Structure 1
Amino acid sequence: MPPALPAFDVNMQAIVYSRPGDSSVLSLVERPLPVPAAGEVRVRIAVSGVNPTDWKARASNPTVPGEIVPNQDGAGVVDAVGADVAGLAVGDRVWIYMAAHGRPTGTAQEYTVVPAARVVPLPDEASFEVGASLGVPAMTAHRALTVHEFGPARLAPGALTGRVVLVAGGAGAVGHAAIQLARWAGALVIATVSSPEKAALATAAGADHTIEYTTEHVASRIREIAPDGVDQIVEVSLAVNAGLDAEIVANHASVAYYADDGGSGFTMPIRPSFAKNVRVQGLLLYTVGQAALDAAAEDVAAAVRDGALPVGAAAGLPLHDYPLAQTAAAHDAVEHAAIGKVLIHVAEL
């Protein structure tokens, strides 16, 4: 039997918004402590992660259904378990993904209730900062690395041995996770960056080679490193890079893109792309389907257990910390392209 649950007269602090807009629509309020229903767990949040989709959803959602608590990702400790939940217990350290997808309650609060399927065990040796940095970035990177025509559909040590992976924007959160996962799986990793400082971050993440696209001829450098071409590209800016990608890919390569370039389209040269049987794969974590989410969560969890997904400046992903009351400033930092990972420290657990 699950433990007894507290009554609704117990309150907690939460960040909410009830209309779309800039970060000024966010406010700190007290709300009743939620109780998990069947198939759900309640997690006491230690750290909440902020992603671009969090501020974009807050800014652009024209039909806000009452009060919404933002932020998809987080980490903490299971505090209560609803009926029909297996594999999770009170006291378990966990990380959470897509907490607010299809629901009005995310991780920018002291406690959150989420479906058990979106809660993943976090090893004792992994910090809550690591756990809150997984979710959207790491699972997006996993999907980008598993859409090649010849697989692999899952990542593990050795799964990408012999492959050359190009990560465009290697200093971003998704790029950072893609470098780490690709290296963990055995690939040779090239990262493109815009500055020496970002090159240092990509190298710290594990990239074998970095190319500064602002000062170097990218295609020439890639041909030096990988004469037969790149097998897989994790692409942050397809509208800008489609021509380059078609030029430097190997036969049967995949180009997986996950960002929208502000809604612009892209043009890819026809002859090199069809002659090389290039697979151009769009991906959005929120619509990718449960099977892909389950695979990503399992493989990312395995990489965490192997110590392959560290965070912090020494690991190539500087952390920017904010208290819960400054969630608006945290959203602004992500909107203004802070380099690294923006985290909200909710509680010391």
Structure 2
Amino acid sequence: MIVSLGGIISACNLNNAQDITLDWEPEIFAPLIKGDLGVLQQPNIQNVDFSIAVPASSLGLDIYSGIVPIVPAFGPIDTIQRDYTVTDSTNNIVFESVEIDTVTANVSFTNPFPVALSAGMRIIFRNQGATTNLITHVTTRDVGPNETYSFQEQALNLTLNASLEIALENVQSPGGTNLDFNNLSDLTINISLQISPVNAIVFAPNVSASFETTDNFDLGLGDEAENLEGNLILKHNNQTPVNLSVQAYFLADDQTTVIDSLFQVPSPISAGDTATVTVSSTSLLNSLRNAKFIRFNTGFNTNGFTNSVRIDGSTQYDFQIIADVKVKLKN
């Protein structure tokens, strides 16, 4: 959560018959932004989308080609398993497991085979190496050639590992006659896991990732200030058991154009540390008058750790940006 604390000064216009020249340069020491960020907010863990492929050979259909007069009924087949590992955009494993209140699985597939898949097929999600099923769905109807089947299942209060196993069991078919096996393709199962909320995360050693948070920002000076001089002070407290690096970008109205950044390079803070960082930049301070949004980019890592670490909602990163400035007002 980020809270904008508004403008640092309100300047008054004087209307008088006399010409009045103001040479007033007030010194301001005031908080601009404060808030807290939790690693549990990482978006890559909230939604997981992937697909698995089941080739015709898994059903014993690869022995056929061309037009086949008779394909006998077959099944049940209980040996189809596919593994999937949840990774970030750079294909790195970020977490070992997440403890969650609710996971919702939205699954769909289109039958590419020339035979129907009988009702009663089980689609099962479990953690790799586990025997307990996390989610089980039993198909409620036959799925004919080129037909699409979709379902949604929900599970509560579970631990989801990064390494998952998806199994198909009780796969059966009534077979058929005069079936076309030309251009046979894989059965692709599309899966979307929606995770909410995350109660705790276990991170492996030597992993890293980042996430962003954007909020409104307004220095509140309007057109009254001619020049700003002084410092911006970042006070931050890393209560989490992972190392963090923090960067703040000040954005224009479009929330895309970067006007300036708080640091030349992100500011690091180790697990469990508190720190105060002072930035002295007249150009940065004056750039902030045009900023309308602030985007925090928070990187975290477990580099050098020998053991996994668990993070829950009781640990977070607290921060405050303070302006310590002298304001030269327009005459």
How does the TM-score come out when normalised to structure 2?
0.23
Higher strand share: 2
Larger Rg computed on CA atoms: 2
Larger RCO, structure (CA 8 Å, separation 6 or more): 2
Higher helix share: 1
